[in-house]
Structure 1
């Protein structure tokens, strides 16, 4: 062996050794790959220690951030890919498009006739659709890669969102909660990954494509790609192409010598600020204790169950003194019914073979993301949302509590309590960086430590780096970068803990008030570093209730008891042995016929329990209401539809007899708020406002960069609007809107403000007619924007009246 190439990937380190004989023939003589599990320095050192005569080899490295922390000769990933393709593909080959599907990102390279890279396209920064994201979701379903490889491809896949990792996680959780088989969910994830690649290929030659990277081993993803790509080539060297290219480069160039292993690593540091050690805030956290009770024969009890996305919790509460006499906390593993049955079995085992039959369970309440399917399995009407459950438990332990910070596996919630009742709440909308699952996955995947080690490790930190409250994908990258440059593990873990809490305080709590007594609860609080970080950021003392992970289960038991006492729930007894033994089967699903106002056609599962089939699922509560014979007057409940009708009620219909000139306005962003204002304005000036009717997929495809879904919709609606050929195009730039608190500075999203400019750049057809793009600032009310309206009217040739 004469040359060694190294690829430092987001999750894997690959090595390729090459040799050249006297006749100039080159061959691969070494090939190794190993997951670095968040510690690339250690794994690279171990791999290099296995190489004989390392100091005599020409060595080159490629990869992303980590290569900058090495003293080795390095080349970029595109250069490495280009060299590997030249080596492996014959002259005149037809593969002009190369897709690199790796652990952290997808890249597409376009080659010219001579095999040189002409163009590079990359996916957006969102983690959904990448190899690491797939591994995380398999872990949530308790599936290994080996088990997935043995799965046969199902006849149908469950469609999941690829737009955002949070939405995709939610889709997977909801699918499993509805009883969708795991193989269909895995197939849906693979189909989503294929869709990500196909989206990148829309503006590239895609009939003949070379696929490289670790994800090329995903058989299901490859299957879906081959449905769309006529000729998809996957070489044996696909997982190590970048390392092969680096080795090929090293054969041809003088490289920096490798004298010893210690000399391989440099000392470059990340440009980060640092936070105070968490130990400084330990005295700002109070951990409440509450002894467990012991069940006695004849005890009247309530069973509370909290079926979360990652964990399932259960308690048996004695009614006379509200003592918990049995409790457990288990992994959901993507199977809410199975997890519920395991919890029932654990509770029964704690009670013992005799006592389990000597207590009376008079009610059963279920909360959490899997509450509907778990409630159906238990045949209980006590299905209650988490806000009520957690607030009820907190007020039970301290009637003075007025603020609850609750961080769960997939959701993070804020609740404000007035007179013992939740009066305001908020939850994470589209970011997972403030949740327990992100903390666990980042610690495990990027740092190689288990969830139970996080708290003690974080308390050892002396200088936690500030990863801020940014998106989960960016925090994950910073965590990996810190690990790669040798920042001490305790400091990185503490910085990660801080980032979780920053995300919560900025994106979940926001500008909502923090009262005098703050409870912080949820399973993440078993990690004692989280409350300390929250105290550091808020300046408030944090109170952690007894068994913070059981608060949902305990709270739903308390709430069920209250409803039983008030006659809001019918009395019913529950038997643990029957609950443990009760199995669930799934019949053939069907599509809901909806009603006169619904055309969604939701797929409804048939859940078979004790020989009886129950319809389950859908976006509304129709079948749940049928099961429990509830009658609900829905006419006045759909406030979204009511608002939609009210906002657009004055839109003039298309009428050939209406000869007024037309102004086209896009159906996007703030149109749903300001349409009545602009419609009245143009109508008074003698113009008719026109809106697009549908999202044109061709318009969405014309966007020039990866955007969020609302911006994609704006492109699709714009294409439909242009097809209507209005006389003018109205694309206002709305800088700010008025908010209830006059002291708050208002500023709209940059994508909202930028709409007139990126749509004009994308749709050249828009420039064939006059475009009206006034700048409006409504932060001081509509009257303050009068000059902008006058200028707009003047642009239409209308002078100010009177």
Structure 2
């Protein structure tokens, strides 16, 4: 039995993507960060898309894909399917996700023959970029305005810790604006892509860019500027490309969605678990701080700790040593 629409599910490291494909009537998609809640996010996405059974589906992505009650394929197979659907025959595909960077090298038949993946350092990933935006109180939607008149600085790229320190210190010392930091991070990420393309010996021809990170147009511009000999293609489906490919592949390799829950029974515990912390509460000693009401006639000392990521302040009564006011929040540059 073939259904009119097919569903592709991609469970990424930070986001869950769904794509509905119907022959001759376009593509629908929805993306949400899952924050580890695969069941809840999957339900919300199904509701957003209005996905109605009977529906044939296929799942791809990381280890989380094994929890879904559907046939599965690895991401590379889903990417190949997406390329076939768009009739693209690139020399390579660069996938820039929340916590990984992968370059897939293809042969002249559009099949993958090699891959180059990132190391365990997070400095070139989308999630690291998102976290740094959060520290500056910015969203991805804000970066166009923030980068107006900004310039890219040279910052440490060998380690995410050093990179974060460089960005933080420049902001806190007033040496760079938020826009400068956004461009600097984008440039570092683009340089990592270029480095991987060098490893893959790709200097000419067509390369397809996919992944949620491609929504950062400054990053894409830096990639193109750094490799003028390469024809970079950014498909409309780039942010959910694996889900798009899985949806097309579901026609031949998928299965009908179960009527009940999409998750397999007993699939919740993927990793080893430990005893609850409540069983060790007797080992914890809590020393409550001294608090008091504000007295306008009293003498106070104000303590401020302007940290790299958070700013703390406390107003203390000199006589009673009680805290009468406090603040703990992000520095936001």
Query: Post-superposition shift, 1:54?
Result: 2.0
Q: What is the match of residue 177 of structure 2?
A: 181
SS at match of 1:285: coil
The match for 1:206 among 185, 203, 206 is 203
Distance 1:247 1:296 in 2: 67
Compute the displacement of 1:153 (Å): 4.9
2:16 maps to which of 6, 13, 16: 13
Which residue number corresponds to residue 71 of structure 1? 69
Q: Which structure has more strand as a fraction of its residues?
A: 2
Task: Give the corresponding residue for 1:731.
Answer: none
With normalisation by structure 1, the TM-score equals 0.38
Structure 1 residue 111 corresponds to structure 2 residue 109: no
Q: 2:92 & 2:32 partners in 1: Cα distance?
A: 27
Q: In 1, are the aligned partners of 2:291 and 2:324 still within 8 Å (CA)?
A: no
Shift of 1:32: 2.2
The aligned runs of 1:640-655 (5 Å cut-off) are: none
Give runs of aligned pairs for residues 523-538 of structure 1, distance below 5 A. Answer: none
Contact 2:190 2:219 in 1 (8 A): yes
Contact kept? 2:209, 2:232, Cα under 8 Å: yes
Corresponding residue number in structure 2 for 1:303: 302
> How far does the alpha carbon of each residue in 1:281-335 deviate from its partner, in whole angstroms, 9 at most, with x for none?
2463132342436445484x5432211123222234455x362464321424333
Question: What is the aligned-residue RMSD (CA, Å)?
Answer: 2.4
> Residues 146 and 178 of structure 2 are in contact (CA less than 8 Å); yes or no, is this contact kept in structure 1?
no
**1:336-415 superposed matches below 5 A:** none
8 A contact 2:151–2:179 mirrored in 1: no
Bigger Rg over Cα? 1
| Structure 1 partner of 2:139 | 144
- Tell me the residue number matched to 1:223: 221
> Separation in 1 of the partners of 2:273 and 2:150?
51
The 5 A counterparts of 1:134-533 are: 134-179=129-174, 180-204=176-200, 205-207=202-204, 208-230=206-228, 231-253=231-253, 255-268=254-267, 269-282=269-282, 284-292=284-292, 294-295=294-295, 297=297, 299=299, 301-319=300-318, 321=319, 323-324=321-322, 326-335=324-333
Q: 1:2 aligns with which of 5, 18, 26?
A: 5
Corresponding residue pairs, total: 323
Deviations 1:621-660 (A, max 9, x none): xxxxxxxxxxxxxxxxxxxxxxxxxxxxxxxxxxxxxxxx
Bigger share in helix:
1
Secondary structure of the 2:124 match is: coil
The alpha-carbon distance between structure 1 residues 61 and 174, as it changes in their structure 2 partners (threshold 3 A), is same
CA change 1:297–1:46 in 2 (3 A) is closer
Q: 1:304–1:19: structure 2 CA closer, same or farther, 3 Å change rule?
A: closer
Cα 1:318/1:286, change in 2 over 3 Å: closer
Provide structure 1 residue ranges, at least 5 long, that are not aligned to the other structure: 21-25, 336-802
Counterpart-to-counterpart distance in 2, 1:322 and 1:220: 54
Inter-CA distance 291–242: structure 2 relative to 1 (3 Å threshold): closer
Supply the distance in 2 between the matched residues of 1:297 and 1:276 (Cα, whole angstroms): 48
Paired with 2:301 and 2:30, the residues of 1 have a C-alpha distance of 56
SS in 2 for 1:54: coil
Higher-RCO chain (CA-CA 8 Å, sequence separation at least 6): 2
Q: Deviations over 1:394-443 (max 9, x none)?
A: xxxxxxxxxxxxxxxxxxxxxxxxxxxxxxxxxxxxxxxxxxxxxxxxxx
TM-score by length of 2: 0.88
